[in-house]
Amino acid sequence: MEMIELKNISKRFSIEKRSFYVLKDVSFTLPNHGFIVIEGASGSGKSTLLKILAGLLLPTSGKYFYRGSSLYNNRYQLPNFRNREVGMLFQNYQLVRSLTPLENVAFPLLIRRTTLKDAKEQATLLFKRFHLEHKMHCSVDTLSGGEKQRIAFLRALIVNPSFLLCDEPTGALDEENARLLLEALKEISKEKLVIVVTHNPMVSKRYGDQRFLLKEGALYAH
């Protein structure tokens, strides 16, 4: 069974008396793991599609199946889906400056009532897996942009989501830090589904197991 299936997803927005479609009959199926790249220019509908995949935005029409079940049958199902199944990585890190990197990564577990000791132990394992243990206790302000983004990546992983949604994750990084982050995402895609939306064709060519092009709201296999 595929993890995600979208069927004829469309999204229309209305501004004053005008309405326009941002997504038009988007359909695809995605597996349980792998590195999926959705490439498109600014304004092509990438962020809208990502929000629908995350359960943050409802489409105007179409169906979204997750592990064979429709997400839209029960309106109480979406918050549970977002909290348990989805990890998100954004371009702008969103780290808490008053916390250490270790505390930033452990924080989502504390919200889920994991003990502080267990949360820090699980976070430490992630830091060691991705060779960032030397950054666990420093000030967030001393981190480079690339280091902050990789810390944000660990924070997205700490709750063990079924899939990761990454919105232009390398957009603010230099070439070397972009490579380090993409290689970390590629590694985790061997066991989880990783979906990256980007305007950068290099990401698609070098890392994508499955590649799509989003153009004027329509999705094409790439």
Residue 74 forms part of a structural domain: no
For residue 49, give its domain range.
Answer: 32-55+85-221
Looking at per-residue pLDDT, the higher value among 83 and 65 belongs to 65
List the structure tokens of 109. 């577990």
Structure confidence at residue 138 (pLDDT): 94
The structural domain count of the chain equals: 1
Residue 165 forms part of a structural domain: yes
Q: Give residue 146's identity as a one-letter amino acid code.
A: G
Residue 129 forms part of a structural domain: yes
Task: Measure the CA–CA gap between 130 and 201, rounded to whole angstroms.
Answer: 25
Provide the b/e sequence for 156-173 (b: ≥16 CB within 10 Å): bbbbebbbbbbbbbbeeb
Residue 27 forms part of a structural domain: no
Structure confidence at residue 166 (pLDDT): 92
In this predicted model, what pLDDT tens digit does every residue of 11-23 receive, in sequence order?
999 887 788 889 9
Residue 11 forms part of a structural domain: no
CATH number of the domain where residue 159 is located:
3.40.50.300
H-run or E-run covering 203: helix 201-207
Query: What is the pLDDT averaged over residues 162-174?
Result: 87
Residue 205 forms part of a structural domain: yes
Contact 5, 177 (CB under 8 A): no
Contact 2, 36 (CB under 8 A): no
In this predicted model, what pLDDT tens digit does every residue of 21-37 receive, in sequence order?
899 999 999 999 999 99
How many residues appear in the chain?
222
Residue 25 forms part of a structural domain: no
Confidence of residue 1 (pLDDT cuts 50, 70, 90): low
Residue 105 forms part of a structural domain: yes
Contact 149, 169 (CB under 8 A): yes
In this predicted model, what pLDDT tens digit does every residue of 123-167 receive, in sequence order?
999 999 888 999 999 999 999 888 888 898 899 899 899 999 999
- pLDDT mean across residues, the chain: 90
